[in-house]
Amino acid sequence: MLEQKQRGPIGQRIDVLRLLTADPDLSNAEVGRRLGLSRQRVMEMRREGGLPASQRTQRIGWHPCLRCGIQIPPKRKYCSRACQWDHIQLVCDECGKEFQRPRRMAARYEHHLCSQMCKGSWLKLIRRRKHLAANAFRRLKNLVGN
């Protein structure tokens, strides 16, 4: 708390930005100690001011997202679910509507249905066809058997 000043939030922001522009290698914790702020608050002010993350943060393994290139923490491959799932455009087998599904889900199923309503009407149609086929087989069996 060497340089702590009793100022409002705007004054604190000015002090933080002044320190960080003078020495960008300072960690958020060090800036916070000097000004009497938490490291999280310093990190927020750094982001709000458009300053890059501290060099220490960049050294601990941050790397780009595999899909979009945004910097993400270690042990992660993607920045979000949207980047993680590779979506493809499909057409509903029941109503013909275009919709998106993750590639891995689309590969899992033979028929692609856009909603529960389409799934219900499609299943109803399939069951009806199976019922008609079974009845036709029974009738044919009765005709041939006699």
Q: Using CA of residue 25, residue 27, residue 33, residue 35, what is the dihedral sign? A: positive
Pairwise pLDDT comparison (115 vs 53), residue with the higher score: 115
Averaged pLDDT, 98-116: 89
Cβ-Cβ contacts under 8 Å for 61 (sequence gap 6 or more):
73, 74
Say whether both 117 and 140 belong to one domain: yes
Say whether both 78 and 96 belong to one domain: no
Residue 135 belongs to a domain: yes
Question: Which range of residues forms the domain containing residue 32?
Answer: 9-52
Q: Using CA of residue 95, residue 97, residue 103, residue 104, what is the dihedral sign? A: negative
Averaged pLDDT, 114-141: 87
Query: pLDDT band at 18, cuts 50/70/90?
Result: confident
Residue 4 belongs to a domain: no
pLDDT in tens, 46-68: 888 777 776 665 556 778 888 88
The domain tally of the chain equals 3
pLDDT at 4 over 70: no
Averaged pLDDT, 73-97: 87
